[in-house]
Amino acid sequence: MSQQLFFGVSWRERPDAQQHMFAAFKIVKQLHEMLWYLAEAQERTYDPDAADEARELAASVTSLTRGGLAELFATDIDALHVEVRAVLMEISQEVRGSYFAEVGHLDPNIAAGADLAGSNLRARRLCGADLRGACLIAVDLRGSDLTAVDLLGADLRDARLAGADLSGALYVTQPQVNAASGSADTRLPDALSAPPHWTDF
């Protein structure tokens, strides 16, 4: 980033630019996170129009990452988050719906933003659940099927994932996986890898 926005000069060389550099880094980091989610959304949707919408939005975000500081700081990041969130939610609902997420087959406590810290969800079929932003700290998900489960922003610190199937989970990221405890038989999306600290539990 410093190569593009600050011509290769680091904040150590220009202490006076430190505040601007750190602010720019924070924005660019958010933009790249949006691109990660939008790329997955394009792959997961069955609706060509939704895919086009995600693709066009990703192109707009990409252009911001390649622009200059003035454009970067002039961007309304909060408004962009809202726009991206709307697209991600639309595609999440579509994908989850294909697993009967809308017909009430799940425990109503398993919901977006739920506090499930320490809960026993072992060997459960959670397909299609919306756990966006849920607190899943130390939750026991060993052997559970999380296909099409929306995990956007879910807190997976110390979550027990040994033998769990997250290969088809929605919007799960490497930092989330790194914060959890898994095993050799935990299934992950192709774009993610098991962290070195994972062992069999």
Q: What is the mean pLDDT of residues 113-142?
A: 96
Supply the mean pLDDT for the chain. Answer: 88
- pLDDT higher than 70, residue 7: no
Torsion sign (Cα): 168, 170, 174, 175: negative
In whole angstroms, give the CA distance from residue 88 to residue 99: 17
Torsion sign (Cα): 4, 20, 27, 29: positive
Question: 12-30 pLDDT, tens per residue?
Answer: 555 555 566 777 788 889 9
In the chain, where are the structural domains located? 2-97, 105-201
For domain 105-201, the question of CATH label 3.40.50.300 is answered with no
Question: 38-95 pLDDT, tens per residue?
Answer: 999 999 999 999 999 999 999 999 998 887 777 888 889 999 999 999 999 999 999 9
